[in-house]
Amino acid sequence: MNQNTQFGNLQSYLRYTQPTAKYLFGSMSFRKKKSSKHQENVQKMLEALALNGALTTWEIAKLSHSDISSIRTKDKELRRLVVGRRDRGRKTLGIIDVGLVIANTENLELDTSKKYRLSLHGILYCLDVLDFSKKEIDQMASNYSDILPMIFGKWDYLKSIIGDDVYRIRLLTGGLFLDTVHITKISQTPIFEIITYLNVKYQDYYESIDENDLADQISYLFYAALLVPFTVNENDEENKTEKWKKLFEEDENLNIWFFDFIKETSKFYSNRFDFIKSMIP
């Protein structure tokens, strides 16, 4: 991994990376709304990485061009999109500067050998902006199963139990559940408490976070958000809860990982309440 690529936690994505990326690279798919050529080229590059996994700029160029001359020209253009460029003393941010991609290579000095892949921030941006179909999200999940192992790494298993609810992951890209207080009124499950602790757990990683830790933060939120009902029908909520429980009953690894976090959450509140009790005269 290119250690120069740095990104923060989920809050950092929502408050910095997302608005920056939307301003520079577009807030809507170029296929749905006319955009600048620069924005269209960036989105096409991100789309190629999402649907194909890690690629060199040369390999991306070959997806749309066949003759060597055109591939070479496109390759140079793509490399500028990655690292940005200077024009009259001003630096134009590239997608690696914003934190949407990560460079993987054995020799960072050789641009032609660099393979680029989406970062977790890049995955979130693609889900939010590029208007992927369910089939395309499935494809991205397959390509990035090792980057988001507790969601994409279990994608087919999740779909077999909760069906299209897996695509709720798109809702997380806009921060729908992360800072939403009113969810306490629409579910009997203590989702608000879980999400509040999730914010506390990762609050010190706004500027920089290990990618594995960010994957956990996103994944904890995903599983908590699955319990938020979209209707006021009690039977619907009960049905979703039963399916949610089944996820953990049939996957021991998932069960241990998630409920260790729940135990940690419970301990956090228990300690807080004990402290409050100790203050009572």
Task: State the Cα–Cα distance between residues 169 and 186, nearest whole angstrom.
Answer: 19
Query: Are 28 and 58 members of one domain?
Result: yes
In a domain, 133, yes or no: no
Where residue 166 falls among pLDDT bands split at 50, 70, 90? very high
Are 111 and 153 within one domain? no
Query: If you average pLDDT over every residue of the chain, what do you get?
Result: 86
Say what the pLDDT of residue 66 is.
Answer: 87
Beta carbons within 8 Å of 254's beta carbon, 6+ residues apart:
150, 154, 247, 248
Domain residue limits at 199: 145-274
Q: How far apart are CA 187 and CA 164, in angstroms?
A: 20
Question: Are 118 and 232 found together in one domain?
Answer: no
Confirm whether 26 is domain-assigned.
yes
For residues 106 and 18, state if they share a domain. Answer: yes
Could you read off the pLDDT of 60-90 as tens digits, one per residue?
999 988 899 999 999 999 999 998 876 655 6
Q: Are residues 74 and 158 in the same domain?
A: no
Per-residue pLDDT, 3: 41
Domain count within the chain: 2
In a shared domain, residues 23 and 93: yes
Position 220 confidence tier, pLDDT thresholds 50, 70, 90: very high
Q: Is residue 281 part of a domain?
A: no
CA distance 55 to 109: 17
In-domain check, residue 5: no
In this structure, the answer to whether residues 149 and 113 fall within a common structural domain is no
pLDDT of 201: 94
Query: Per residue in 21-34, pLDDT tens?
Result: 999 999 999 988 88
Is the confidence at residue 109, as pLDDT, over 70? no
Return the higher-pLDDT residue of 26 and 108: 26
Confidence (pLDDT) at 90: 67
**Is residue 3, in this structure, part of any structural domain at all?**
no
Same domain, 167 and 96: no
Q: For 178, what's the count of Cα atoms within 13 Å in the CB-facing half-sphere?
A: 21
Is 18 found in the same domain as 80? yes
Q: What is the CATH number of the domain that holds 84?
A: 1.10.10
Residue 267, domain member (yes or no): yes
Do residue 172 and residue 234 come from a single domain?
A: yes
Do 70 and 171 belong to one domain?
no
Q: Is there a domain that residue 130 lies in?
A: no
Helix, strand or coil for residue 97?
helix
**Quick check: 155 pLDDT over 50?**
yes
- How would residue 92 be classed by pLDDT, with cut points 50, 70 and 90? confident
Crossing angle between the packed helical segments 191-201 and 211-225, to the nearest 10 degrees? 170
Average pLDDT over residues 236-257: 87
Same domain, 152 and 263: yes
pLDDT value at residue 114: 85
